[in-house]
A = this chain, B = another copy of it.
Amino acid sequence: MPRRTHKPTLSNAARPATFTVDAIDENGATIPTPIAGEHPLTIYVDKREILTIMTLGAAPEALVIGYLRNQRLLESVDEIVSVQVDWETNACSVVTKNGLKNLDEKMAKRTKTTGCGEGTVFGDLMADLDNIRLPTDIKISRTTLYTLLNNVRLHESIYKQAGAVHGCALGNVSGEILTFVEDVGRHNAVDAIAGWMWLEGVGGSDKIFYTTGRLTSEMVIKAAQMGIPFLVSRSGLTEMGYSIAKRVGLTMIGRAVNKHYLLFTGAERLNDG
């Protein structure tokens, strides 16, 4: 796999993922209970405040890079000089080579079109859909899918302890997990995977994207934008997620747990056996 020579300078500022508090159960017993962290992180790019994200803080540098990527504010990881997260001030400072692309225009557009159901630049995402071409020559078998699902089951950590998080995994077509991220928001976890892919120079065309979250329009659009032909979820899907998956030719599988699943679109990429 080709690796990039350029890498931005990064902090390594993951937060503790869980905190334990005392709860009282229905029998009056005190139960020490792990709960997921949730922290505001304000992103500054070249000293300008962009927005505040609520995050678990497990992979904050990758999250911020992936956010800038998925919002189309940067075209390449090569444009990033450094990403420094400081939890004393709940701030992430990003330095770029040449500034963000069309920032004012995108900020204005975001203000108008942010989906409050989804929390991101919806107008922009939809507009780019017609340029997406997903590979048609790559297939996986059911056995590979089951292997990936089993690997995810063994991998999840914060969810098992504390719940209240969503997990995303990037798998290869052998069903191996390349990276796994949990966060308090579905779309944060996706963005962190997108950031990791840029940092590691990993492309999407021969990958499987797994999420514990629902397959809403935004999830499908992001997977397609990342060039990933397979999208797999433990949960269900929405009508718009379904329509977009059909339109871009994505292979979308829902309700995937153990050896059960429902294949909704793109059946040609899933082989028997």
The 8 Å CB contact of A237, one of B55, B164, B241, is B164
Copies in the complex: 2
Q: A112-B51, A262-B25 are in contact. Are A35 and B239 (CB under 8 A)?
A: yes
Would you list the 4 A-B pairs with minimal beta carbon distance, nearest first? A119-B119, A163-B236, A117-B185, A38-B238
Task: Please tell me if the beta carbons of B67 and A116 are within 8 angstroms of each other in the complex.
Answer: yes
- Interface size on A, as a range, is 35 or more
Chain B's closest residue to A33 (CB) is B262
Task: Please tell me if the beta carbons of B112 and A111 are within 8 angstroms of each other in the complex.
Answer: no
- Expressed in whole angstroms, the Cα–Cα distance for A240 and B40 within the complex equals 9
The 8 Å CB contact of A52, one of B25, B42, B122, is B122
Contacting residues of chain A (25-69) with chain B, CB-CB under 8 angstroms: 25-26, 28, 31, 33, 35-40, 42, 49-55, 67
Main secondary structure of the interface of A (DSSP, over half): mixed
- Expressed in whole angstroms, the Cα–Cα distance for A123 and B114 within the complex equals 16
Q: Which residues of B contact A237 (CB under 8 A)?
A: 35-36, 164
Task: Please tell me if the beta carbons of A113 and B36 are within 8 angstroms of each other in the complex.
Answer: no
